[in-house]
Amino acid sequence: MSQTSVATAISPSSKSGPGTVTLMNGTTHSFNSNISTALKKIPVIDATGIWSDNFEDRKVVAEEIRNASTEVGFFYLINHGVDEPHAEACFEQAKRFFALPHEKKMEVFTGLVPNEYVGFHPMECYNRNGWKHQDLSEAFNWNYDAAEDPEAVDKTKPSKSIWPSDLPGFKEGMFSYHTKLLQLARRLTQIFALALHMPEDTFDKYVREPEAGMRILHYPEQVHSVDDQNGIGAHTDVECFTIVTQDSAGGLEVLGKNGDWIKAEPIPGSLVVNIADCFMRQTNDFFVSTVHRVVNKSGKERYSAPFFFGFDRNKLLEPIPTCVSEENPMKYPVITGGEYYRWRTNIQKNTNVFSK
């Protein structure tokens, strides 16, 4: 399962004023103000063409994704082919889980599974940005399971996920949506190949046993100011790309290249896609893994469900040929996706206050 990178320091020069954030992936970013804006917009891409039998239709969408992935690193997908009732059912299951007593949820505490991000992450267990108050959210993560993958070659491979007892239908409900997003992610992987001006099947061999984890999150409304607390602090994601399902509460914010926090306001029926660090590494920074956070000032509880998609952990994160040259050599050492995942997972989990 994926985790997000952790910000080690944010130093605004004044309340809600400019500042910098240094992430655990080693990058430092500046922002103009801690207050977000709705004036700037994230691209909206009609995904109808990705399912077309006509290659040109798929290529048109790929070029739009190419532009969004290099300029913003975030985009909305509409007409993506995943029916909205699947998302609604996922959120209903999320509410069932988060309504459990704390001690029941702690039976599947993430600290029980070394080197993996699966299981329950309690409320206020992390402080990604060193704010006065802990991040105000709780989460449950689960990982790819070959037994639940309709396209798996070997369905006997064991899963690393842990599941709550006495919650009938929960696992089945979670994987019902996970499977739909897995099918979408595999198709998007082909579209991303076209976006990188590579053959459409370039990455097919890397996603037969993908890194395809998912999480559900619950955010109470924040009482404290954005200077003192976030729902989730500023971070980047780990794998190749993330598909986010958000409810109507809003709160997702993206750090633009110009240093403004941009509101990713909910669009009914849409999914939000963002580039993650492994794709940024493989594309030699051609694709942008963009810093983002959640601030829930909606006046109500917020739920979201990010789906984290990456290549087989055993595959090397080799450079994409169209993104390197003698004039633009590879900036990152070549490692496996699993090595990068474990490194980032343990950095994150070591900051969990419930593990200390």
The CATH number of residue 94's host domain is 2.60.120.330
* Structural domains counted in the chain: 1
pLDDT at 14: 41
For residue range 291-309, what is the model confidence (pLDDT) as tens digits? Answer: 999 999 999 999 999 999 9
CB contact at 8 A, 251 and 231:
yes
Is the pLDDT reported for residue 271 higher than 60? yes
pLDDT value of residue 37: 87
Indicate whether 2 belongs to any domain. Answer: no
- pLDDT tier at 333 (50, 70, 90 boundaries)? very high
Statement: residue 18 has pLDDT above 60: yes
Specify the pLDDT at position 356: 62
Asked, for residue 64, whether it belongs to a domain, the answer is yes
Residues 155/261, Cβ–Cβ less than 8 Å: no
Provide the percentage of residues in the chain whose pLDDT is more than 90: 75
Q: What is the pLDDT of residue 10?
A: 40
Confidence of residue 11 (pLDDT cuts 50, 70, 90): very low
Over residues 253-262, mean pLDDT: 92
Is there a domain that residue 336 lies in?
Answer: yes
Of the pLDDT bands very low, low, confident and very high (cuts 50, 70, 90), residue 321 is: very high
Q: How far is residue 100's CA from residue 84's CA, in Å, rounded to a whole number?
A: 25
| 74 domain residue, yes or no | yes
Residue 4 or residue 169, greater confidence: 169
Average pLDDT over residues 49-58: 98
Residue 2 has pLDDT above 50, yes or no: no
What is the structure's pLDDT at 26? 67
Which residues, other chains included, contact 86 with Cβ-Cβ below 8 Å and sequence gap of 6+?
Answer: 176, 177, 180
* pLDDT-above-70 percentage for the chain: 93
Per-residue DSSP letters for 84-124? HHHHHHHHHHHHHHHTS-HHHHGGGBGGGSTT---EEE-TT
Is the model more confident about 138 or about 348? 138
Of 36-40, 117-121, 141-145, 320-324, the least confident: 36-40
Q: What is the mean pLDDT of residues 103-120?
A: 94
Model confidence pLDDT, tens digit, residues 68-101: 999 999 999 999 999 999 999 999 999 999 999 9
In this model, does residue 249 exceed pLDDT 70? yes
Higher pLDDT, 287 or 20: 287
For all residues of the chain together, what is the average pLDDT?
91
Q: Is 213 exposed, middle or buried (0-12, 13-18, 19+ CB in 10 A)?
A: buried
Question: 265: closest CA among 256, 278, 279, 252?
Answer: 252
Q: Which residue shows structure tokens 């090397």? A: 316
Alpha-carbon distance 292 to 232, whole Å?
9
Among the listed residues 307, 299, 305, the one whose alpha carbon sits nearest the alpha carbon of residue 249? 299
Nearest to 50 by CA among 201, 187, 162, 176: 187
- Asked if residue 62 has pLDDT above 60, the reply is yes
Instruction: State yes or no: pLDDT of 161 exceeds 80.
Output: yes
Of the two residues 153 and 196, the one the predictor is more confident about is 196
Residue 1 lies in a domain: no
By residue range, what is the domain housing residue 308? 7-355
- b/e sequence 147-177, b meaning 16+ C-beta within 10 Å: ebbeeeeeeeeeebbbbbeeeeebbebbbeb
Structure confidence at residue 40 (pLDDT):
84
**Is 123 within a domain?**
yes
